[in-house]
A and B are shown apart, each in its own frame.
Chain A
Amino acid sequence: MQQAGKFSSLLQILFLAMSFLVYQPLANASKEEAFNVGEMIMHHIKDAHEWHVAGEGKESISLYLPVILHDNGFKCFSSKHFYHGKESQVPSSDSTAYHYLEGVGPAKGYALYHEKIYKLDQIGTANGQPVYNLKFHGEHPHNAMPTDLSITKNVASLIFGSLLILIIMLSVARFYKRNGAVAPKGLAKFFEPIIVMVRDDIAKANIDQHKYHKYVPYLLTIFFFIWINNMLGLIPILPGGANLTGNITITLFLAVCTLLVTVLSGNKNYWGHIFWMPGIPVPMKIFMIPIELIGILTKPFALMIRLFANITAGHIIVLALISIIFINKNIAWAGLSVPMALFISVLEILVAFLQGFLFAMLSALFIGAAVEEAHH
């Protein structure tokens, strides 16, 4: 943990350096435009089609990620064609305007508004070139959306994180293959206690003695997936920083996995408790059926919301604390905001582990309840 703390403070310094790089131009620009904290934070915790490193607008340093669209066949091009495309705007109902990015080159005919890709409607031609428009209905564009299968920031982070887990675990496995069943060294020495913890404290403690073996690989996978990706999310620069495990889609997928594993391994006893709860009068039995059925869904739903909200909240708090400097437009505020952000970041390292542990633990608890044999 201490090492992790040192690592985190190093990260924190990097993070600060990066945040100055990112926000300094913004702080200067804010003489004309008020610094909008909410918008900045939302922008950082949401998915994007670029991986932003530093700078603002067209001068920013970013990793432009490939956009893959399914719209009468697959279309694939760099998101540069949006970010370096045409900045358009549509007047809104109140005095402000909706700004969106119109694609150029291969991205022609599509627009990027709040990181969502819309298909533009042709409204006419000028100089032999088609002219497009994004129609707004209330706050949201009215245009059709192509199926967006882009490698977004979160997808890239997902692939990177998964490769990282794969590399770590394969090298741990290689150690055992080379040396046989001996006392671990190096990477294996660090990860073995964690693997054993998942097996003993999570799987064995909550699932029947004779059945837990089957679920250990699943629990290990979700635990390391969540933990490693949480940690990557805490790194503020390029290989990390994506709010992956704080994205509802990821947590939804993981929760659905746990739901499927639970429901598919449910035995007679489990379903018996749901559809005909033993030990209570018949009218109550009937009354309990819908409650138990809803219960099947609420448990993974809580898993989904817990992970999403915890990680997103962590990102929001760190960003908000750093924003204090830019709201007050005075570097002296760093004396307050930096220690606070540092504290929260260290706490987030604990939370990163804890949320992975909890997700696996509660999954094991649900699976354990589903495979439990009757003991009346």
Chain B
Amino acid sequence: MDLILPDFGLLVWTGIVFCLLFFLLVKFAWKPILSAVNTREQKIAEALDLAEKTKAEMQALKAENDQILKAARAERDQILKEAKEAANSMVEEAKGKAKDEAAKLVEAARHNINSEKAAAMAELKNHIASLSLEIAEKVVRQELSADEKQKALASQLAGEIKMN
């Protein structure tokens, strides 16, 4: 039975020793230990924070670089495109000009040909007319024996020339 009955003397000693232990530990052990542990944890947390921040900064820097690179690339592309366009337009323009020139030349040639042809025709007509006159003269001189016959022939010949 006295196994489960508290003992007064032991209770008194426990009170004294435990309270003394508690105050000594609080003052000389728990306070320095806990503050040291807290300080270290804070330090570690700060270091981790710093690392995180640095990482973020690096990321931002990298992003910025990427941005710049991207812009540069875009600019280059733009310039290239413009150059190509300019070249194309130049070629087109040259082509057009050449075509126009050619057309003009062809037109001039045709015009020349036509005018030459007309001139040639006129000359040919004149020539034929003079030839015809010569022929007619010869025929007339030969067949001037009979007036009627001569007259009929002359008119017939003239008709035949007109038909041509």
Which residues of A are at the interface with B, using a C-beta cutoff of 8 A?
A: 42, 45-47, 68, 114, 116, 147-152, 154-155, 158-159, 162, 165-166, 169-170, 172-173, 176-177, 180-183, 192, 195-196, 199, 216-218, 220-221, 225, 247-250, 252-254, 257, 308, 312
Tell me, in angstroms, the Cα distance from A45 to B37 when the chains sit together.
Answer: 39
- Within residues 1 to 52 of chain B, which ones have a CB less than 8 A from any CB in chain A? 2-15, 17-18, 20-22, 24-26, 28-34, 36-37, 39-40, 43
B25→A114 contact, CB < 8 A: no
* Complex contact A253–B3 (CB within 8 A): no
Contacts of B20 in A (CB 8 A): 162
What CA separation (Å) do A47 and B18 show in the bound complex? 18
Residue on B with the closest CB to A169? B29
Chain B interface extent, by class? 20 to 34
Flag if B32 contacts A173 (CB, 8 Å): yes
A-B contact pairs, 20 of them (CB 8 A): A42-B3, A68-B9, A149-B13, A154-B10, A158-B14, A172-B29, A172-B33, A173-B33, A181-B36, A181-B37, A192-B37, A199-B34, A217-B31, A220-B30, A221-B22, A249-B6, A250-B10, A250-B14, A252-B6, A257-B18
Q: Which residues of B contact A159 (CB under 8 A)?
A: 13, 17
Q: Are B30 and A217 in contact (CB under 8 A)?
A: yes
Task: Determine whether the beta carbon of A221 is less than 8 Å from that of B21.
Answer: yes
Shortest beta-carbon distance, B47 to chain A, in Å? 12
Q: A116-B2, A169-B25 are in contact. List 17 more A-B contacts (CB 8 A).
A: A46-B3, A47-B7, A152-B10, A159-B13, A166-B25, A181-B36, A181-B43, A216-B34, A217-B30, A221-B25, A221-B26, A225-B21, A248-B3, A249-B10, A253-B15, A253-B18, A308-B4
CA distance A196 to B18 in the complex (A): 22
In contact, A162 and B17 (Cβ under 8 angstroms): yes
State whether A149 touches B12 (Cβ < 8 A): yes
- The answer, among B8, B15, B32, for a CB contact under 8 Å with A147, is B8
**Least CB distance, A311 to chain B, in whole angstroms:** 12
Interface Cβ pair total, 8 Å cutoff: 117
List the B side residues contacting A68 at CB < 8 Å: 9
Report the separation of the CA atoms of residues A348 and B14 in the bound assembly, to the nearest whole angstrom.
24
Does A253 contact B34, Cβ atoms closer than 8 Å? no
Q: Which A residue's beta carbon lies closest to that of B40?
A: A181
Does A176 lie within 8 Å of B7, measured CB to CB?
A: no
Is B37 touching A196 in the complex (CB atoms < 8 A)?
yes
- B35 → chain A, closest Cβ, in Å? 8
Provide the residues of chain B in CB contact with A182, threshold 8 Å: 40
| Cα distance, A151 to B33, chains bound together (Å) | 32
Candidates B6, B22, B24, B33; contact of A176 at CB < 8 Å: B33
Q: Please determine whether B25 and A220 come into contact, CB atoms closer than 8 angstroms.
A: yes
Mostly, the A contact residues are helix
With known contacts A181-B40, A250-B14, A253-B14, A150–B9 Cβ distance under 8 A: yes
Min CB distance A124 to B, Å, is 31
> Contact: B40 with A158, CB < 8 Å?
no
- Whether B30 and A216, one on each chain, are in contact in the complex, defined by CB atoms closer than 8 angstroms, is yes
| Most chain A beta-carbon neighbours within 10 Å: one of B13, B18, B34 | B13
Q: In the bound complex, what is the Cα–Cα distance between A312 and B3 (angstroms)?
A: 10
Candidates B3, B21, B32, B33; contact of A166 at CB < 8 Å: B21
**Cα of A165 to Cα of B17 in the assembled complex, Å:** 12
List chain B residues, Cβ under 8 A from A249: 6-7, 10-11, 14
A147 to chain B, nearest CB (A): 7
Contact across chains for A253 and B11 when beta carbons are under 8 A apart: yes
Q: Is the CB of A173 within 8 A of B4?
A: no
**What is the minimal beta-carbon distance from B43 to any residue of chain A, in angstroms?**
6
List the B side residues contacting A250 at CB < 8 Å. Answer: 10, 14
Which residues in B have their C-beta under 8 angstroms from that of A192?
A: 33, 37
Given contacts A42-B3, A148-B8, A249-B11, contact A225 B43 (CB under 8 A): no
CB < 8 Å neighbour of B36 from A147, A148, A180, A220: A180
Given A169-B33, A192-B37, A225-B18, check contact A152 B9 (CB 8 Å). yes
Q: Which residue of B lies closest to A117 (CB)?
A: B9
Query: In the bound complex, what is the Cα–Cα distance between A123 and B123 (angstroms)?
Result: 191
Q: Is the CB of B36 within 8 A of A176?
A: yes
CB of B142 to closest CB in A, whole Å: 149
Contacts of A152 in B (CB 8 A): 9-10
A-B complex: 10 closest residue pairs judged by Cβ atoms: A176-B36, A169-B29, A181-B40, A181-B39, A249-B6, A249-B10, A217-B30, A173-B32, A155-B13, A162-B21
- Determine the distance from Cα of A312 to Cα of B13 in the docked complex, in whole angstroms: 20
Q: A42-B3, A45-B3, A195-B37 are in contact. Are A148 and B9 (CB under 8 A)?
A: yes
Instruction: Determine the distance from Cα of A172 to Cα of B29 in the docked complex, in whole angstroms.
Output: 8
On chain A, the residues within 8 Å of B12 by CB distance are 149
- For the complex formed, measure the closest distance between the CB of B84 and the CB atoms of chain A, giving whole angstroms: 65
Interface centre among A158, A166, A253, by most chain B C-beta atoms within 10 angstroms, is: A253
Chain B residues with CB below 8 A from A154, complex form = 10
Residues of B within 8 A of A116 (CB): 2
